[in-house]
Chain A
Amino acid sequence: MILEIKELSKTYKTNRKKQLVLDSVSFHVDKGEIFSILGENGAGKTTLIKLMVNLLTPSKGKILYKNMEITTIGKDYYTEIGVVLEGNRNIYWYLSAYENILYFGRLMGLKEKEIRERGEELLKFFGLYEDKDKKVGNFSRGMQQKLSIIISLLHEPKILFLDEPTLGLDVVSKMDMIEKIKHLSKEDGVTVIITSHQMDVVEKVADRVMILGEGEIQFLDTVDKLINKYSGNKYLIRVERNLDDAEIKKYFDTVNVVRRENDITEIEVYIDSNRLINSFLGDMVKRNIYVTHISKSQDSLEDIMYKFLKLGSDSFEDV
């Protein structure tokens, strides 16, 4: 275990009102893993990251890095972690990529030789070496994001915090970023704590996911377990008849999508019991209604998160 969060709470006071953003949250992060924090906007993801990097003071609770409270480690904590916060303004746009590297490397207390060698190595790894003398203002969003990560890795941190690292990136840059993050974790042993709204990114990189909702942990385990636990069997059924809602509800409680077009009804349902499907199909045969399509598939992480956030985790138990 590299990071341990114990009963962490954060309350903001705004206009004489108290807003509880995190409520007694406890978890740990293992060395070398990619740990993803998920949740709706305002779920407290960024607040949690800022607490873990000591930019915010907790209202209650402790954050331990290698069994030491981060507030007692003080500024030396920043030689152990690298942080790229949300947005594309972690760097100076009027400086070149290399000037940014030199500036932030010097602030980290690194020697010129170290900055030059490590900087060049990372620029090559992230494919920015040829652009190192260009002004960052002329960079694409993906290039700026890569440069922010390069700068956060200059001092070879043990933990890398990435808040929405793939936001606004095109498909190629996003896939490239995913590969780089995986490489950092698996090959270089860097622990990565990542927040993202992009479920495809989380599904591809994360070892474990934590879902935050209403200031509390709603789920914490591996991506596979999340999918296995919450992915109900999704059936897509198409029948040659206009079925109204009441008729469909006789068989299925959790109908996700219903399309009706030219006497055809398309239903998407989430069920675990074959009995319901058999009963539906049996009745269709009895009523001489043609079933032209039936298929079964598993939810993607994106589907699960959508349902999780929209319906809440409890609703899954009923499926």
Chain B
Amino acid sequence: MFNIIKAELSKYMIEVKTYYPDHIVNIIVTYIFFAGFFLEFRNYAAVKDSYYIGFLYWFLAANIISEVSVSISFEKQVGTLEQLLLKPVSLEVICLIKTLAWLAITFIKVMVLFIVIKLTLPINIVFNIKIIPILIITLIGLLGFSLLLGGLTLRFTKTASFETILSYILLFFTGTIIDINSMPILFQIISKSLPLTQGILISQSLIDKQPVFFSQMFLLCINSFLYFIIGISFFRYIYNKSKVEGIWNEY
């Protein structure tokens, strides 16, 4: 397992070095996006210190939920997907490790982004160490979600536009920039079942020094666990179906 992590991390580092302008552009665009929202919402008294945390979650989520499908799509395009299938480790493990390697790189980008934000914007970034386990549990659900999308890419290949829509759904319907309680009931139900929402709500409560209830934690764990199990099962199902139908390299 350590070998695979090393393999993927090294390859991602080479990619980052080779295509570094893309990453700089990504950070700048996110900064502009964040600054725009922040400066706008700042005019409203209701904006709290915890506002930024939703954005942090969304930035991580937007980067990792599509990673499995982006990887599969890329491997299909360059013709190396079958070589990955011919290794003594299952494709979903390789994909999960790819996502974790990508998450590590995204985390470095987040750090850079928040340093720049701290230095240039009048925002008070408060951090609570208790957020870390919440973030980890939330990420497990997101990995499942990522595998679910990856399964779709294994079968249908062109899923990039779909992922962009999902990324914006996560931005607007998880409490990142709009308060969930101000949404219509139906949207509230949908919102609370998304893999990101519970994590954001609990983390915002922690930063704002508000109590976190056991029921919230339970809901977060159940939500993440279900997304992870559904993601892996769906990916396995599509993988086995593809072995029967033989569609590995269709692009």
For the complex, what is the distance from the CA of A55 to the CA of B248, rounded to whole Å? 9
For the complex, what is the distance from the CA of A191 to the CA of B79, rounded to whole Å? 25
Is B80 a contact partner of A107 (Cβ separation < 8 A)? no
Which of B18, B88, B248 is A79 in contact with, Cβ under 8 Å? B88
* A14 (CB) vs chain B CBs: closest residue: B245
Is A56 a contact partner of B243 (Cβ separation < 8 A)? yes
In the complex, A13 has a CB within 8 A of chain B: yes
In the complex, A104 has a CB within 8 A of chain B: yes
Is A109 a contact partner of B80 (Cβ separation < 8 A)? no
In the complex, A99 has a CB within 8 A of chain B: yes
What residues on A are CB-neighbors of B3 within 8 Å? Answer: 106-107, 109-110
Contact A57 B243, CB 8 Å, known A103-B7, A103-B10: yes
What residues on A are CB-neighbors of B78 within 8 Å? Answer: 89, 92-93
Is B246 a contact partner of A56 (Cβ separation < 8 A)? yes
In the complex, B215 has a CB within 8 A of chain A: no
Is A78 a contact partner of B79 (Cβ separation < 8 A)? no
Which of B4, B246, B248 is A106 in contact with, Cβ under 8 Å? B4
What residues on B are CB-neighbors of A91 within 8 Å? Answer: 80, 83
Chain A proximity of B89: nearest CB distance (Å): 7
In the complex, A255 has a CB within 8 A of chain B: no
In the complex, B183 has a CB within 8 A of chain A: no
Chain A proximity of B167: nearest CB distance (Å): 26
For the complex, what is the distance from the CA of A89 to the CA of B78, rounded to whole Å? 6
In the complex, B84 has a CB within 8 A of chain A: yes
What residues on B are CB-neighbors of A108 within 8 Å? Answer: 87-88
Chain B proximity of A154: nearest CB distance (Å): 11
For the complex, what is the distance from the CA of A95 to the CA of B18, rounded to whole Å? 10
Chain B proximity of A149: nearest CB distance (Å): 13
Is B79 a contact partner of A87 (Cβ separation < 8 A)? yes
What residues on B are CB-neighbors of A12 within 8 Å? Answer: 245-246
In the complex, A85 has a CB within 8 A of chain B: yes
Contact A83 B246, CB 8 Å, known A91-B80, A93-B78, A95-B14: no
Interface hits, A70-94 → B, CB 8 Å = 75-76, 78-79, 81, 83, 85, 87, 89-94
Is B15 a contact partner of A106 (Cβ separation < 8 A)? no
What residues on A are CB-neighbors of B89 within 8 Å? Answer: 75, 107, 109
Chain A proximity of B185: nearest CB distance (Å): 43
Is A102 a contact partner of B10 (Cβ separation < 8 A)? yes
In the complex, B94 has a CB within 8 A of chain A: yes
Across the A-B interface, the 8 shortest Cβ-Cβ residue pairs: A89-B79, A106-B7, A106-B3, A78-B88, A57-B243, A75-B88, A107-B87, A57-B244
Interface, chain B (partner A; CB < 8 A): 3-4, 6-7, 10-11, 14-15, 18, 78-80, 82-90, 94, 240, 243-246, 248
Identify 8 residue pairs between A and B in the complex whose beta-carbon atoms are under 8 Å apart, listed by A's number: A55-B85, A90-B80, A90-B83, A94-B14, A95-B11, A104-B87, A108-B87, A109-B88
Add 16 more A-B contacts to A75-B89, A107-B4 (CB < 8 A): A13-B245, A53-B86, A55-B246, A55-B248, A75-B87, A78-B87, A87-B79, A92-B11, A95-B14, A99-B14, A106-B4, A106-B6, A106-B7, A107-B7, A107-B84, A109-B88
